[in-house]
Each structure stands twice: as C-alpha cells, then as structure tokens.
Chains A and B, each alone.
Chain A
Amino acid sequence: MKSSVTTSPVRTETPAALKPKRSRDYGRLWTIGPVVVWMGVLFLLPLLLVLAVSFFSRSTFGGIEPPLTANNYIRFFDPLYYKILWVSCVLAFTTTILCLFLGYPFAYVVARAPVHLRNLLLLLIIVPFWTNSLIRTYAWIVLLRTEGVINTVLKALGLIAEPLPMLYNEFAVLTGLVYTMLPFMVLPLYASIEKLDKAYLEAAADLGATSWQTFWRVTVPLTAPGIMAGSLLVFIPSLGLFFIPDLMGGSKAVLIGNLIKNQFLTARDWPFGSAASIILMALTLLFIGGYLAVTKDKEGKGLT
C-alpha cells in the first residue's frame, strides 16, 4: 500500500507541474474512495432497490414481476394496514413520553450529582445503553412470565393465589420498549443538562423566579435540544424493534416492524413489504427533517 501512496522525490525529468495535484488526488482517492464505494453499493443501492421493488407486483412464487404499479402503496390505506401504522406510532409515542418523564428528572439528578460520583453514575447509564437489547428484553420475560420471578415471589408471599397474566399484552410490550429505550433518552438529556450553566439558574433566582418557574422558563427551554434528540432516538427505533412485540406481545401486537418482517419472511410479498418500509422510512425522515428544522442542528450532532 505504501508504494502506491508515497510519491518519489521529484527528479528533473518528471513533469513537475503534475506532481502536487496527483499526490493530493491520491490522498482523496484513498480516504474517500472506499467509503463512497462501500456505502454506495451496500447501503444506497439496496435502498434504491427497495424503492424500485415497492412498485413491482408480487409473482406467484413470491418473487417480483412487472407490471409496475402503485398498488402496494394504495393497499396500505386499507384500514387493516394503516391501523397497524397508527398503533405503532401511538405505541412509539407513548414509549417516548414515558421515557421522557422517567428520564428527565433522572438525568437532572445525575447531571447535578457531585463531580466525583458523576462519572460512575454516567457509566451506569452507558452500560445498559451498550447492552444487547434482546438480552434486556429477555430479562423482563424472566420476570413477567406466568412461572416468572414476580409471580413466584407474590405467590410465596401469599399475595396472589393464581399467577397474574403479565406477559403477552400491550403492557408487556410497553414495559419492554421503555426499558430498552430509556438509556437512549437519558444520555442526550444528561449531555444537555450537564452543559447548562448554573449561572442562568442563579440569574433567574436573582430576578425573583421560584424554582418551579426557573425550571419551566429557563431549564426546559435551554435543554430543549436534548429533549428533542432523546425523543427522536427513542421514537424511531421503537417503530422498528420487531422482536419486543414478537417476544412480549404474543400474537396480539402486530406493529409496523412485524408487518415488514412478515411480508419479507412469511408472506413473501416483497413489493408490499418494500412499500411498507419506504413509508416507514419516509415517516422517519419527516421526523428527522422536523427535528433538524426546529433545532437548527445542521450536522445532526445531537443524534450521534
């Protein structure tokens, strides 16, 4: 690799005028080239393929065939399907709100904790953030199932005679989602609250604001970027985490993620599954566009 990047020293016979331009283009080629080729072929191209497939028809054997049609999108307006999208959005939204209400005071307390404790407390949030969400979902199944830990304990204490049906309902799905997504809400909140200069709070108090007024009029507006980023980081993945409804909702909860998965793997209707994916992605981009417009966070720094 070295010899192809290094340029030998200029000798008199070399057309010197070409040299610097060439070596700089090598630099560009070797740094930007791989990522453009890789992401272009394995990310952009497949995405465009899905867009294309969404306009084809399903063939008898589960493949795709002409004619080109918009039927897959029209079909989505069948109540059966758009209700799935609606329910998914409501569930993702509820998850987001719950995470925000649970997470904000929590992030606030951690961000205002004594400095010597703060790194440890932060680490304790980062660990679940990096932990496999499937395992974290599974942990709740261990707790909630009929022969699970909670029912066993409650029975042993004589509080219940029959086990409570806590798994395979919407409550279980919501618990799983909130549990999985909470760290994604807390981290951006923590970042924005920690950055908040205490002088603003003192200034507000100095001007006669009660701590409640200070919170609503100063703290919340100034940490709004964290709130927005956290909400987006919770909302979008919640729409697509198919395994939580699969494992915790039983057959009762079919969400947009499950719909897409089923169209590709079970029903083998790729055009319709693709159309659903495109709709999901369009919805996502709409929210991100809104986020970028509201926060003027041009490079999406708050999200990464």
Chain B
Amino acid sequence: MSHPMVVLQEIVKRFGHNTVVQNLSLDIHRGEFLTFLGPSGCGKTTTLRMIAGFEQPTSGRILLDGESVQDRPAYERNVNTVFQSYALFPHLTAYENVAFGLRVKRVPAAEIDRRVKQALRLVQLEDFAKRKPEQLSGGQKQRIAIARALVNNPKVLLLDEPLGALDQKLRKQMQVELKHLQKQLGITFIFVTHDQEEALTMSDRIAVMHHGVLEQVGTPDEIYNRPATAFVAEFIGETNLLRGKAIERTADALLVECEGFRLTAPLQADIREQEPVVVAVRPERISLSLSPADTPERICLPARLSERIYTGAFTRTVVTLADGKTLVSHEKTDELLPVGQGDSLYVQWNPAHAVVLKP
C-alpha cells in the first residue's frame, strides 16, 4: 500500500501557445527531499504551482497520497508552500501568521495556541511571536514562513526558491537547517531552485528540467557523475564536451571515436552506430602530465597550457588541443604541474569517468 506521495502523470501546461511543461511524469516518494532544478523559465516553478493548486494542468493527472487532485483548488489540498517572497501577511503578527491556516480551518483555540507555539519553537522564534513581518529580518521571515506552512501538518511541503533572497552565509545555514528539519519531521519536501549547489547539497533526488522537459531524475551522485543529457552535464557543475561519433555497438558497450582518440562506454540504448555523440568529462577527472600515460587504457592527448586561474583549493587550468579545442582541468593548487604558458603537456583521463551522451 506504500504508493508514492505525489504522482505526476503526463502533465502538460500551456499558457496560450506557450508550452511551459511538456508531458512530465514523475513519482515522488514518501518522506523524500526532491528538488526541481533548472534555469529560470524551465517550468520548475509552474510544476510546483500545479502541485500546490495555483495552476491547473492543461492535461494530465496529479495524485496526492493516492487521490486525484488536479481539479481541486489550492485551499482544498493538504500541501503547503513556502514562497520565494515569504508572502507573510503584513497586517498580522508572526504568531497570527502561523495561526492563519488553523484559524480558517476552525481548529479549537487551545489547540491552535499549542500548535503555533510548538511550530515557533521548532524554528526557534518563540520570542518573536508578537512582531509584525516588517520588524523581522530576512532569515526570521523565512523561518516564520516555514513554521506557518508546517503547523498545518501538510502531507507535502513545497518550497519555491525559499533561500533566494538570503545572503550567502545565511543561505548555507538555512540549507543545513531545512535538511535537518526535513529528516526530523519525515515530511515530503519538494524544493525548487536554480542553484545547482543547493540542489546537490540538500536533495535525496534531483529532477532536472529544461524548456519544460524533465531531462533527468536521480540522486545527486547520479546527476553529477552520470548525466543523462548534454544539458544536464553542462548545467550541473563544469564539464568538458567533446564531439564524436558512435562507430560500433556491441551487446553492452559502445565504441566512440572522437578526434584523436577512441573510447568504449557503457551502452546507451538510444544511441545507434554512425550517430553523432558528445563525450562529457568533468574537469577534476582530467589530469595533466609532462609525459604520456603509462597505461594504454587511459585516454591521453597532447596539448599546450593556455591559461591558469587561481580559485583557492584548486586551480582552473585551460589547455588547448592540437585542433584548437580547449579543455578545462582542475589541478590541486599545491600540486601544480611545473609548466608555463604555451608549454607542451599531456592531458589524460580514465575513460570510465567519461560519459557518452546524445548531443
């Protein structure tokens, strides 16, 4: 009977002629922290708003805890939202903001008081109950917004870029707190962000969206190390993309030829022989050396050093291949290869760390 908490079935959303979400299907599990990640305009917020009930899907179904809810208005769905702008009611105190949902549901006064105080304690703002939103700092508003949503015991908590307005330091702190809160309460969190680092840090699973299409769903590790599409590879972290062609398909592997090298990669069902492909390699997987690799399995290409940019723990090193194509490598700053600009060197990587994708 353990059905998923939220099921999105073939969701399509159009605004006029503009298709914002294209045929999205996704199961979100009980107690999961799932993040919709993508650039602005990719349809992630619209998807969240459809789950909340602020938008109706043009077609498709939304199941919440097994019940079909796509035609129910927001106020009849047991989900709550933490808004990007917090959306605290300016005319009500922090306490009354948190109590709002319980009051409109006509919960008995004594219970309201108990639950509101508990929620305020949860976000450590018991002493700020009497303040109006304008008297609270950004981080405090944020916590009140979370308390206001959680006090209703929602089945799912929706968070629409809730940390976007906070400064860097507070943001990191809130990321940890939110994750901690989610584990403690065991509530399903659906989080929307365009910040890939935030998504990687907090999520159990990430759903990457682009132009209304769900590009990939997976754990942060899968998304980072085994991107399913060129877009995912490029959007999450930095990556090197090399153009090539699939030349041979065997039972479980694919032989790919790029300019200057060949590699074998696990078979991708939808890539056929003679089709163009891209090979994605993360900069930290690329190492630099003065002499060619000693093991033939490693890919090794001659190059020249073009540029080095110091970024702290690692240095971003740009090298140029014989054909003029540039690659980026992340070198440990205290183990830099002793070469200067324009010097010859070799770049090499383990083909197992490369991912073959459709362009």
**For the complex, what is the distance from the CA of A17 to the CA of B73, rounded to whole Å?**
10
- Residues of B48-77 contacting chain A, CB below 8 A: 53, 56, 68, 71-73, 76
What is the number of contacts between chain A and chain B, taking CB atoms within 8 Å? 18
Minimum Cβ distance to chain A for residue B11 (Å) = 16
Q: Which residues of A contact B53 (CB under 8 A)?
A: 20
A16 close to B73 (CB less than 8 A): no
**For the complex, what is the distance from the CA of A18 to the CA of B68, rounded to whole Å?**
14
Q: Which residues of B contact A23 (CB under 8 A)?
A: 73
A10 within 8 A of B: yes
**For the complex, what is the distance from the CA of A74 to the CA of B53, rounded to whole Å?**
62
- Residues of A13-43 contacting chain B, CB below 8 A: 16-20, 23
**For the complex, what is the distance from the CA of A7 to the CA of B73, rounded to whole Å?**
10
A9 close to B71 (CB less than 8 A): no
Q: Which residues of A contact B76 (CB under 8 A)?
A: 9-10
Chain B 16-56, CB-CB to A under 8 Å as 1, else 0, gives 00000000000000000000000000000000000001001
Q: Which residues of A contact B73 (CB under 8 A)?
A: 7, 19-20, 23
**For the complex, what is the distance from the CA of A16 to the CA of B68, rounded to whole Å?**
10
- Residues of B69-90 contacting chain A, CB below 8 A: 71-73, 76
Q: Which residues of A contact B68 (CB under 8 A)?
A: 16
Contact-residue size bin, chain B (C-beta under 8 Å from the other chain): under 10
Q: Which residues of B contact A10 (CB under 8 A)?
A: 72, 76
Count residues of A near B (Cβ-Cβ below 8 Å): 9
- Residues of B274-305 contacting chain A, CB below 8 A: none
**For the complex, what is the distance from the CA of A231 to the CA of B26, rounded to whole Å?**
61
Minimum Cβ distance to chain B for residue A189 (Å) = 33
- Residues of A23-65 contacting chain B, CB below 8 A: 23
- Residues of B163-216 contacting chain A, CB below 8 A: none
Minimum Cβ distance to chain B for residue A140 (Å) = 46
**For the complex, what is the distance from the CA of A212 to the CA of B215, rounded to whole Å?**
64
**For the complex, what is the distance from the CA of A10 to the CA of B71, rounded to whole Å?**
10
**For the complex, what is the distance from the CA of A18 to the CA of B73, rounded to whole Å?**
11
Minimum Cβ distance to chain A for residue B69 (Å) = 9
**For the complex, what is the distance from the CA of A133 to the CA of B252, rounded to whole Å?**
91
**For the complex, what is the distance from the CA of A18 to the CA of B28, rounded to whole Å?**
27
Minimum Cβ distance to chain A for residue B320 (Å) = 47
Q: Which residues of A contact B56 (CB under 8 A)?
A: 20
**For the complex, what is the distance from the CA of A23 to the CA of B68, rounded to whole Å?**
19
Chain A 88-127, CB-CB to B under 8 Å as 1, else 0, gives 0000000000000000000000000000000000000000
Q: Which residues of B contact A7 (CB under 8 A)?
A: 73
Minimum Cβ distance to chain B for residue A101 (Å) = 44
Chain B residue nearest to A8 in the complex (CB): B76
**For the complex, what is the distance from the CA of A32 to the CA of B56, rounded to whole Å?**
23
Chain A residue nearest to B72 in the complex (CB): A10
Minimum Cβ distance to chain A for residue B76 (Å) = 6
Minimum Cβ distance to chain A for residue B348 (Å) = 58
Minimum Cβ distance to chain A for residue B334 (Å) = 49
Minimum Cβ distance to chain A for residue B117 (Å) = 28
**For the complex, what is the distance from the CA of A290 to the CA of B53, rounded to whole Å?**
45
Chain B residue nearest to A17 in the complex (CB): B71
Most chain B beta-carbon contacts within 10 A, residue among A7, A9, A20: A20
Q: Which residues of B contact A9 (CB under 8 A)?
A: 76
Minimum Cβ distance to chain A for residue B259 (Å) = 56
**For the complex, what is the distance from the CA of A20 to the CA of B71, rounded to whole Å?**
6
Q: Which residues of B contact A17 (CB under 8 A)?
A: 71
**For the complex, what is the distance from the CA of A23 to the CA of B53, rounded to whole Å?**
13
Minimum Cβ distance to chain A for residue B64 (Å) = 13
Chain B residue nearest to A18 in the complex (CB): B71
Q: Which residues of B contact A19 (CB under 8 A)?
A: 71-73
**For the complex, what is the distance from the CA of A16 to the CA of B71, rounded to whole Å?**
6
Q: Which residues of B contact A20 (CB under 8 A)?
A: 53, 56, 71-73
Minimum Cβ distance to chain B for residue A39 (Å) = 29
Minimum Cβ distance to chain A for residue B52 (Å) = 13
**For the complex, what is the distance from the CA of A18 to the CA of B72, rounded to whole Å?**
9
Minimum Cβ distance to chain A for residue B154 (Å) = 16
Chain A positions within 8 Å of B, measured between CB atoms, are: 7, 9-10, 16-20, 23
Chain B positions within 8 Å of A, measured between CB atoms, are: 53, 56, 68, 71-73, 76
Q: Closest 8 interchain pairs by CB?
A: A16-B71, A20-B73, A17-B71, A10-B76, A10-B72, A9-B76, A20-B71, A19-B71
Q: Can you list 14 contacts pairing A with B, beta carbon distance less than 8 Å? A: A9-B76, A10-B72, A10-B76, A16-B68, A16-B71, A17-B71, A19-B71, A19-B73, A20-B53, A20-B56, A20-B71, A20-B72, A20-B73, A23-B73
- Known A16-B71, A16-B72, A20-B56; further 15 A-B contacts with Cβ < 8 A: A7-B73, A9-B76, A10-B72, A10-B76, A16-B68, A17-B71, A18-B71, A19-B71, A19-B72, A19-B73, A20-B53, A20-B71, A20-B72, A20-B73, A23-B73
